[in-house]
Amino acid sequence: MLIGELARRAGVSERALRYYEEQQLLRPARRSTGYREYKDSDVATVRHIRTLLGAGLSTATIAEVLPCMVADGEQLIPGCPELDPVLRTDRDRLTSAIEDLQSARDVLDAIIARAPQPEPATPSL
Mean of all residue pLDDT scores within the chain: 93
Give the confidence band of 109 by pLDDT, cuts at 50, 70, 90: very high
* One-letter amino acid of 1: M
Report the percent of the chain where pLDDT is more than 90: 83
What's residue 114's pLDDT? 94
CB 34 within 8 A of CB 47: no
DSSP state letters, 69-97: EEEETTEEEESSTTHHHHHHHHHHHHHHH
Does the structural domain 3-80 have CATH classification 1.10.1660.10? yes
Q: What percent of the chain has pLDDT over 70?
A: 99
Query: Would you list the domain boundaries of the chain?
Result: 3-80
- Chain segment 48-104, per-residue pLDDT in tens: 999 999 999 999 999 999 999 998 887 899 999 999 999 999 999 999 999 999 999
Q: What is the pLDDT of residue 122?
A: 78
Judge contact between 90 and 60, C-beta under 8 A: no
